[in-house]
Structure 1
Amino acid sequence: MQTTESRALDCAYFDSWRCRSCTLLATPYERQLADKQAAVADALPALAWDAPFASAAGGFRNKAKMAVAGTLEAPTLGILAVDGSGIDLQACPLHEQPIQDAMPRLESFVREARLTPYDVPSRRGELKHLIVTASPDGELALRLVLRSSEAVPRIAKHLPALADALPLVSASVNLLPEHRAVLEGDEETVLLGGTLVMRVNAVPLRLKPRSFFQTNTAVAAGLYRQATAWIDEASPASLLDLYCGVGGFALHAARPGRAVAGVEVAADAIEAARECAAELGADASFAVGDATSVDLEGTGAPELVVVNPPRRGIGPLADRLERSAVDRVVYSSCNPATLAKDLAAMPSLSPVRGRLFDMFPHTGHAEVLVELRRGA
């Protein structure tokens, strides 16, 4: 058994068994990283590996997804126990410092606005989740997930005081009326701002309330730098970023004389990518669409494709890439199992090098970047 002294991060919640989400916390960080690298290398075909990109042991999460429970007088912000009761984790050491600093004020806001915590066993109450995202500049975006719109006028009334107390630049309400084990619903109403700027490697990426962004900003910055280095080494005349989100890979790789485009199903993410491209003066275009149905055939095929899919992988897109004229693929994966399956479906595109990026310390999850070359 590992001793507390050998750990990279002290956590009172873990030691008291209030939260055991960080399943590898008792394992020294160097061992965690080595074990992840070995597991990823074992799951994928043989290729050259760069040294793993390590994370800070704590203070690295830019987003806090807090389940709200308890009572109006004593709300808890954290996770839910098996019986549905709340476990307060306001001082979770994984979160970036601006998030930790904001938690006591956010708890007060819940009480002041009389946002009754949702009680899972009885299916009563209003406030289900509180989601806070921090930017590299220390600014915050807040989302409140509610069962109904009943509390929205009170939130709007007390929001100015909250914005005065915190570096809050965006606030929105999300409605999730159903009793379901999901984080958010389909309806979002912006009450303040609406955009959080994530300045990564001098690229001012923009996050709308529903936009996806990597959880670990410092490691995401390293991921973008590595992908950009591989892309610049290949020097493609044309690049297509599929599942582009807010345009992180495309905007990092945009260069004069290089045709860069991105495709993403989320319209708000495409809007954000376009805004960033305009600010940078980047020669990059973005379109709303299904990444799996983009035209990759014929002389119009891009020389290089970047894919950054969800955990399920690229599915039928793998076969289309295999049959296309695309010479290189840079694949960013958060699930080595689906990555291995997708690589097997593209035998003409050989994986030549890869790198592990530790987005999620103290867990078994891994982000992997792999470069594929046709006929290598």
Structure 2
Amino acid sequence: MTVELTVDRLGAQGDGIAETADGPVFVPFTLPGERIRAEMAPDGKHADCVEVLEASPNRVEPVCPHFGQCGGCTLQHLDTPSYLAWKRDLVVTALRSRGLDVPVEPARAVPLGSRRRATFSLERRDKDVVLGYRRARSHDTIGIDTCPILSPRIVSALPALKAMLTPLLGGAPEARVAVTETETGLDVAIEGVRPLETALGKLAGAAEAHGIARLTAGSEIVMLAPPMLQLGRAQVRLPADSFLQASPAAEAEMVALVREGVGKGKRVADLFCGLGTFSFALAERAQVDGYESNAEALAALSDAARHTPKLKPMRGYRRDLFRDPLGWQELKPYDAVVFDPPRAGAAAQAEQLAKSKVKRVVAVSCNPGTLARDLRLLVDGGYRITRVVPIDQFLYSSHVEVVAHLER
């Protein structure tokens, strides 16, 4: 059924929302104030825009020819000031839902072409093979020849990656391809295939020619150069499947904010430290203890720390902070604590921090909802939120990075 709708606002996922007598209707790729003709979905809660009858003055031309078909971006059609204001509002709304009515700074933008990691689908389609992203609201793959948010180095390698990896598909209908840009070349991992070791070995020459440092398929690895990252003064080896901030530009903003939030503390705990994104920067002027559950990431951090001069003492401890958070008594030696958990947040650890006497806490999160929950615990324990900064690390998506400073 085709209907006319007026879009009232943007939802948390970036869809336009039209209020009707039967309740809200979610319409992707539309903007507040627009009058549209839409095809209703059977559930009566969703619709596809067929035609924009009256466009918003904030509507702009998308930067990518795949926008609207590719499921990766939701808001390329919104002008930059309005888009960044929406990102900030996501954080404001999450905090207010927990009773935290605190100032939130404008969202900080990151440039196009700055994303250094992405996951693609390699899908067999009849006699052809397609490398790209999932189509919007579909499990099908749309072939990608450009992506404005991705590093140009990754984009330029896409044709070669498709040609190289297609033979590894074998009889599999599709595979998942993760690509990360590192200092020494691309780190490429293909999952969902079981290639012969000889087949993978034949790709070594092609991989080297196209700037690939490591190619992994299942348990088989072609290593041409260890994938390395620059974190502060340190050169850190990237283990397979390790977490890495999506954008170096966003990472630089986060590191600066973390250092500022820690202040002049002489001993710092970096919780969920990963490879040491914050640890190495903090160790330039403070003793740092990093806590992390991933053994390979911790080993890479420790090895880099041993080989990096002019750092204060750094120590790494393997610990599952979800199951076994640092207790309030264990936190006594620290002047400041940084925590950057996965999307699930760090409620158990926040509860212990709330009982501690640590003077400064810096919370980093890619999930405003769980961050707000954790901040509420800290505020209830006596902390005061002094700064909240959103960072648009995930361009044109509904995700936003946040750094918050707290003090006693």
Q: Distance in 2 between matches of 1:304 and 1:53?
A: 25
1:91 Cα deviation after fit: 1.8
Partner residue of 1:360 out of 394, 402, 407: 394
Provide the C-alpha distance between the structure 2 equivalents of 1:69 and 1:128, rounded to a whole number of angstroms: 7
Alignment match, 2:148: 93
Other-structure match for 1:178? none
Paired with 1:240 and 1:226, the residues of 2 have a C-alpha distance of 16
- Per-residue deviation at 1:38? 2.7
Aligned AA for 1:368? V
- SS in structure 2 of the partner of residue 353 of structure 1: strand
Alignment of 1:1-376 (within 5 A): 1=55, 6-7=60-61, 9-14=62-67, 17-44=68-95, 45-56=100-111, 58-71=112-125, 73-81=127-135, 84-111=139-166, 113-116=167-170, 118-119=172-173, 128-135=175-182, 137=183, 139-147=185-193, 149-158=194-203, 160-174=204-218, 188-193=219-224, 195-231=226-262, 234-256=263-285, 258-281=286-309, 282=311, 283-292=313-322, 293=324, 294-297=326-329, 300-346=332-378, 347=380, 348-374=382-408
User: How many angstroms does 1:201 deviate by?
Assistant: 4.9
| Superposed displacement of residue 28, structure 1 | 1.0
The Cα of 1:343 is off from its aligned counterpart by 1.4
Match of 1:180 in 2: none
Q: 1:123: which partner in 2?
A: none
Displacement, 1:318?
1.4
Q: Percent identity?
A: 24
Higher relative contact order (CA 8 A, sep 6+): 1
How has the CA–CA distance of structure 1 residues 369 and 117 changed in structure 2, closer, same or farther, with 3 Å as cutoff? Answer: farther
Going from structure 1 to structure 2, the CA distance change for 1:4 and 1:102 (only over 3 Å counts) comes to farther
CA distance, structure 1, for counterparts of residue 265 and residue 355 of structure 2: 19
Rounded Cα–Cα distance in structure 2 between residues aligned with 1:4 and 1:71: 38
Q: If each structure's helix is expressed as a fraction of its own residues, which one has the higher value?
A: 1
CA, structure 1 residues 52+5, in 2 after alignment: closer, same or farther (shift >3 Å)?
closer
Secondary structure of the equivalent of 1:224? helix
The number of aligned residues is 343
What is the rounded CA distance, in whole Å, between the counterparts of 1:129 and 1:13 in structure 2? 20
Q: Structure 1: how far apart are the matches of 2:104 and 2:141?
A: 43
Aligned residue identity for 1:312: A
CA 1:4–1:101: 2 relative to 1, 3 Å = farther
Cα 1:299/1:341, change in 2 over 3 Å:
closer
SS of match in other structure, 1:12 = coil
Does the 8 A contact of 1:2 with 1:27 survive in 2? no
Render the CA deviation track for 1:39-78: whole Å, top value 9, x for unaligned. 312432233444432111x312211200111248521111
**Amino acid paired to 2:237:** R
Deviation at residue 104 of structure 1 after TM alignment: 0.6
Task: Tell me if the contact between 1:59 and 1:95 (Cα under 8 Å) persists in the aligned partners.
Answer: yes
